[in-house]
Chain A
Amino acid sequence: MANTPTVYITASDQHRNGKTLLARLLADYLLLDGRDPFMIDTDAPEGPLRSFFPGRTALADFAAMPGQMKLFDTIIASPGRDYVVDLPARHTEGFFKAAEELGFFDELKKIGFRIIVFYVVDRHAASLRAAKEIQKFPNIDLFVPVENQHVGSYWPKTEGDLVIPALPPKLAIAISDKRFSLRSFVLGDVQQLPAEFQTELSNFLFEVLSNLSNLEPLVTLQNLK
């Protein structure tokens, strides 16, 4: 089951609540787990996720038709591997609308994908409402509400949610450098991170990565239901 190719979607209807950090953690988790994920960053032209994973990230401007084709057609044309689709707030609604109109999730299921949606819910009432709407979407194998403790969340505490602990601002800035690899850090390369932050980052990564690995049995459970 764990080897079933999966499309992970990281989304939020609000800005600046840690969504790209989440996509990055997810991608690093998959790489550490020995998977071969391909990332699709729809936040053109900047491509924040791509800057961390050059070479395995496509930049697709979802605002234009060629961008939509790049996203949907790439995944459908090359099944059998994992994908991480990072949606900035401005494309989240459009993505789910297009996915519904085009029957994208149906098609993904047909060609053997699982679909896991991570949705960062923050302290906006609109964010909670939008998350509840997406949760109802058919064909999603697992919907994971994400709380970034740095911004807080209105999502009621549940078993399946994912918590991203708050980081001290200086550490957050240090790891946001695109040359800093979280995966390398886990593998023992501290990359000039000041000693006082190393334990903190280790604890942070331990918590998030173990939470991510706990999701696997949840997907199975969800499907049994």
Chain B
Amino acid sequence: MKPTLILVGADKGGVGKTTISRALLDYFARKNVLTRAFDTENPRGSLRRFYPTMTEVIDLGHVADQMKVLDTMESANVPVTVVDFKAGNLSYALDLFERIGVLEAARNGVFNLGLMHVVGPSIASLDEIGEIAKYLQGVSYVVARNSINETNFFEWDEATHRKYFSAIPKAQEINLPKLNEMAYEQVDVAGVTFKDFIDNKSADGTAGKFSFVLRGYVRKWCSEIDAEFARVQMLADIISGGRAPGHN
């Protein structure tokens, strides 16, 4: 099966982008899909804190780091590569990928390319979609609407939304539920994956002492996210191993 490169990005910070990358890596782990990840938040790399063994921190501005991702797509023998773009970097990164031929390679079928675009509840988020539409030929595009705060509103202007959306082939939308803040903080403090938190396992593999209540809320949140991810064609194809239905 062709490897898949999934870009996770947002045009502004604080919309839960890294959370979604984490949820995505957790999702693949639960489905037994081998994954590797790149964190472009150089040099801090918050994604690496949660997935130290599978995440590498890179600087997309460096050719050597670009090569680390792209030239190893086939040789790494890992079906999924997740790249967590630095916040506010999406248009820049897509432009860069266009210039160095990544998007073209995807269009030519060298590998599958997906973009998970995490947007917050503001109108500005819609404009972001308009800005990046030109890069999205041949890309599985997923808008992940993230309910980052309690108000939980999405003032989407439906007409504008349709205008942007219809311009993008293969576009899908998912809604990400909000995780209780206290639960979120405890997972963050523990520095573990959502899966390990649910299973009450510390970062060093020993039994954790996490709150039953918070574990329960994380589990519920994960199952809600799973249901949303399950609707995404690109992810379904990866999990089914790229087989068409009816084939072995």
Which A residues are within 8 Å of any B CB, using their own CB? 65-66, 68-69, 72-73, 76, 98, 101-104, 107
Q: Are B216 and A102 in contact (CB under 8 A)?
A: yes
Is B182 engaged at the interface, CB distance under 8 Å to the other chain? yes
Q: Are B212 and A65 in contact (CB under 8 A)?
A: no
Q: Are A102 and B182 in contact (CB under 8 A)?
A: no
Is B135 engaged at the interface, CB distance under 8 Å to the other chain? no
Q: Are A65 and B180 in contact (CB under 8 A)?
A: yes
Residue of B nearest to A67 (CB): B213
Known: A65-B180, A65-B182. A102 touches B211 (CB 8 A): no
Residue of A nearest to B217 (CB): A102
Q: Are A72 and B213 in contact (CB under 8 A)?
A: yes
Residues of B within 8 A of A66 (CB): 182
Name A101's contact: one of B182, B211, B216 (CB within 8 Å).
B216
Is B214 engaged at the interface, CB distance under 8 Å to the other chain? yes
Known: A65-B180, A65-B182. A103 touches B211 (CB 8 A): no
Is B220 engaged at the interface, CB distance under 8 Å to the other chain? yes
Q: Are B213 and A68 in contact (CB under 8 A)?
A: yes
Name B214's contact: one of A69, A101, A103, A104 (CB within 8 Å).
A69
Distance (Å) between the CB of B95 and the closest chain A CB?
Answer: 43
Segment 180-207 of B: residues with Cβ below 8 Å from A: 180, 182-183
Distance (Å) between the CB of A113 and the closest chain B CB?
Answer: 13
Residue of A nearest to B220 (CB): A101
Q: Are A69 and B211 in contact (CB under 8 A)?
A: yes
Known: A101-B220, A102-B217. A76 touches B212 (CB 8 A): yes
Distance (Å) between the CB of A104 and the closest chain B CB?
Answer: 8
Residue of A nearest to B182 (CB): A65
* Range class of the B interface residue count: 10 to 19
Residues of A within 8 A of B211 (CB): 69, 73
Q: Are B212 and A73 in contact (CB under 8 A)?
A: yes
Q: How far is the CA of A68 from the CA of B212 in the complex (A)?
A: 10
Q: Are A73 and B213 in contact (CB under 8 A)?
A: yes
Residue of B nearest to A102 (CB): B216
Residues of A within 8 A of B213 (CB): 65, 68-69, 72-73, 98, 102
Residues of A within 8 A of B214 (CB): 69
Distance (Å) between the CB of B150 and the closest chain A CB?
Answer: 12
Can you spell out 28 A-B residue pairs with CB atoms less than 8 angstroms apart?
Answer: A65-B180, A65-B182, A65-B183, A65-B213, A66-B182, A68-B213, A69-B182, A69-B211, A69-B214, A72-B212, A72-B213, A72-B216, A73-B211, A73-B212, A76-B212, A98-B213, A101-B216, A101-B217, A101-B220, A102-B212, A102-B213, A102-B216, A102-B217, A102-B220, A103-B216, A104-B212, A104-B216, A107-B212
Residues of B within 8 A of A68 (CB): 213
Residue of B nearest to A75 (CB): B212
Q: How far is the CA of A101 from the CA of B220 in the complex (A)?
A: 7
Residues of A within 8 A of B182 (CB): 65-66, 69
Distance (Å) between the CB of A77 and the closest chain B CB?
Answer: 8
Q: How far is the CA of A186 from the CA of B220 in the complex (A)?
A: 47
Residues of B within 8 A of A72 (CB): 212-213, 216
